[in-house]
Structure 1
C-alpha cells in the first residue's frame, strides 16, 4: 500500500482522496443563518475529491467544514477551483483548489467568494462577513495563499509564495484595512503567537537564508542562523516576543527530533534542544488559542481515500506533547473520532 505523508500548514487543508461513497455516511447539518451552529467551531475545510491522486472536485460538491463535534456543514459561498492570471479556471490536473483558510481557534474562515473572486472572512457564529479585495485579479488565485492568525483577527495574503515581485499583505479583519506589508522576496511562514508579527525566510546572495520577524509597525529583526535551522526538515514558529524562534528539527525520515529556541536579536541559541514526541511524520508547528504551541501532522493514503490529522499541544520548555485532537476525512465524509 502506497502511503503519502504531507505536513499540515497555519490554517490546514485536507482533500478527501476517493470518489467512492462512504458507508453509513453521516448527513450534513442544514445551516441557514448563522453560518455555523451555536457554539460550533471548525476543525478543517476540505473539498470531496474525485481525482484519485490528483485534485478534481466531485461534480457539484461544495466545500465542507468539518466541525469539532464530528459533524460537517456544506459551505457553498466559496470558489472550488483556483484561477489563472487571466481569470480562467485552472485545470484539475494542476492540483488547484481555490485558497481557503481556517483559524487555529476554529472560529474564522477565509476564502475566495465564488461569484466575484473577492476574499471574504467570516467569524463564528454569525458575524458579518468581511468582504475584502479580489487579490487574485491579475495573478490568479492559484498563486495566492491565505493564512489567518490563531484568533482570526488578521489575514496574511501571500502572492507567488513570497518569491515574486509583489509584497505579501497583512489585513486587519475588523476594519478590512491593510495593516502591514511583508517585502517581496520574503517567504512568509505564518504569524507569531500573538499575531503581531509575521515570520519569514529570505534567501541572500551568498546562498545563505535569513530568518526575519516582520512587525506590523514596519520594523523587523533578523539573523542568519546556523543553516540547519532553515534547511528542509525544520519547522519554525515565532513566539509572542517577536524575536524568539522555536525550531523543530526533523530526521531524514521526517520524524521530530528536537525543539530548540533561537533568538533573532542575539543571533544565538538560548536553550538546549528538547526531545519531542510523538513520532509523527513531517509535522508542522502553529500557534493555537491562548498562545499554545501546536504540532500538526497529516497522513494521506490515496488508495484508501482518507486523510488523517493529529494535533498535539507542545510544551516548548520540556518538549512534552499532549494530543488534543485527531480526525479522519474519508471519501468526502468525516469519520467520527
Structure 2
C-alpha cells in the first residue's frame, strides 16, 4: 500500500506539470451556517389550501432566514430541534421514517418506520437531546398502545433501544446532560414516578418524588451526575426546584422571573398553573441550566434564561416572538 500511495503522489505531480497554466484555485472554506432558532408550521388561517395539516413546516435560523422543511408527517409533535440549534428531526410523511437533518442539509433516516402503526402516527412526538446526538419518538394516549418509546442515534439514524410505558399525553421523556441516560416521568394513578433508563431502555432507577417535583415533572431534566433532577415549578411565582433521586430530597429552589403569564387554577390538579406556557430545561454543564419558556399563543413569546447553580442567578439570554404559526419547536438559540 505504501508503494501504491507513492505512485499516486508521483502521478499527481506529473499531471500538474503536464498541464501548463492549470488553475490551482484554493477550495473555498465552507461558510458557517447559522443555528436553527425554531421550526414551525404555518397557521391554518394563513394557509387555507393546506388546512388539514395547518400549512407546511419550515424552520428559521438565527440569521433571520426561513428554510423549507418538506415532507413532514402531520402528527401531534412531528418535529424537534436540538437545544443547541445544530440539528432537527422529524417523521417523514411518505414512509413514517425518522429523519435527522444537519445544518448543512445532510440527512439520515431510520431503517424502519419510526412508529409501527400508521393509525397511531397522528399522535406521535419527537424529542431531541440538547446537543442533538439523540432522538426519541413516543406515541399515544396512556393505555392505548403497547409500543415503547424508541431512542435513536442522531449521527447514524440507528435504533439504540426502547423504553417501555411512555405515552405522549401523560408522560415526559428527556435526556441527561451528558446524553447517556434517559429520564421518564409518568403519571400513572397519580403516582408521579420518575425513572432513569440507559440508552437501551433498561431501567436503572425509579422513585416517587414529593408533589412539588411530581406535579411539575413534565419539565424534568437530569444532570450528568445521574441523580440531580431540575423541574420548573409553575405558578404566580415560578421557580426551579432541584431534587436528589438517591436521597429522595428537594435540595434547593430558586426563583425565576415571571413574564406576564396567564394564571389559572387547574381543576384536575387543584393547583395554580400558568396557562399557555411551555417550558424546556436543559443542563448545559455540571452547574448550569438553560430554561426556554414559550408563553402565549398567536403570537408566542419565547424567553431564554441561563441559570447558574448553586447561586440560582437567572440571566436573560434572548427573547423574541413567533407570529402566525400553529405549532413550534424551539431550540432556545
- The TM-score, its normalising length taken from structure 1, stands at 0.71
Which structure has the bigger radius of gyration?
Answer: 2
Check whether the contact 1:283–1:295 (CA below 8 A) recurs between aligned residues. Answer: no
Q: Does the CA-based 8 Å contact 1:63-1:76 persist in structure 2?
A: yes
Distance in 1, matches of 2:109 and 2:181, equals 22
Counterparts in 2 of 1:193-232, with a 5 A limit? Answer: 193-203=177-187, 207-216=190-199, 218-231=202-215
Q: 1:172 aligns with which of 153, 164, 177?
A: 153
Q: Secondary structure at the match of 2:206?
A: strand
Which residue matches 1:109? 88
Whichever structure has more helix as a proportion of its residues is 2
Question: Residues 238 and 246 of structure 1 are in contact (CA less than 8 Å); yes or no, is this contact kept in structure 2?
Answer: yes
Query: Whole-Å Cα distance in 2 between the matches of residues 233 and 149 of structure 1?
Result: 17
Partner of 2:38: 44
Distance 1:234 1:184 in 2: 15
What residue number does 1:85 align with? none
Give CA deviations for 1:89-133 in whole Å, capped at 9, x if unaligned.
xxxxxxx5x611111111111112233332211122243433443
Q: Distance in 1 between matches of 2:318 and 2:141?
A: 29
Give yes or no for contact 2:216–2:231 (8 Å, CA) kept in 1.
no
Change (3 A) 1:319 1:285: farther
Moved more, 292-301 or 238-247: 292-301
CA contact (8 A) 1:46 1:63 kept: yes
Q: Is there any run of 5+ residues in structure 2 with no aligned partner, and where? A: 1-29, 262-276, 329-333
Residue pairs, 1:59-208, within 5 angstroms: 61-79=55-73, 81-82=74-75, 96=76, 99-138=78-117, 139-160=119-140, 164-184=145-165, 187-203=171-187, 207-208=190-191
Mapped contact 1:297–1:309 kept (Cα < 8 A) = yes
| Paired residues of 1:123 and 1:152 also in contact (CA < 8 A) | no
SS of the residue corresponding to residue 131 of structure 2 reads coil
User: In the TM superposition, what is the alpha-carbon distance from 1:178 to its structure 2 partner?
Assistant: 2.2
SS in 1 for 2:38: strand
Kindly tell me: are residues 161 and 123 of structure 1, through their superposed partners in 2, closer, same or farther at Cα, counting changes over 3 Å? farther
User: 1:313–1:323: 8 Å Cα contact kept in structure 2?
Assistant: yes
Corresponding residue SS for 2:113: coil
State the Cα distance separating 1:204 from its structure 2 match: 5.4
Cα RMSD after superposing both structures? 3.2
SS of equivalent to 1:180: strand
Deviation at 1:146, TM superposition (A): 0.5
In the other structure, the counterpart of 2:320 is 327
Structure with bigger RCO (C-alpha 8 Å, 6+ apart) = 1
Q: Number of residues paired by the alignment?
A: 274
* 1:276 paired residue number: 256
Are 1:250 and 2:207 counterparts? no
Structure 1 alignment gaps of length 5 or more:
1-35, 83-95
- Structure 1 residues 313 and 162, CA, compared in 2 at 3 Å: closer, same or farther? farther
Q: How does 1:279-294 map to 2 (within 5 A)?
A: 279=259, 281=261, 282-287=277-282, 292-294=288-290
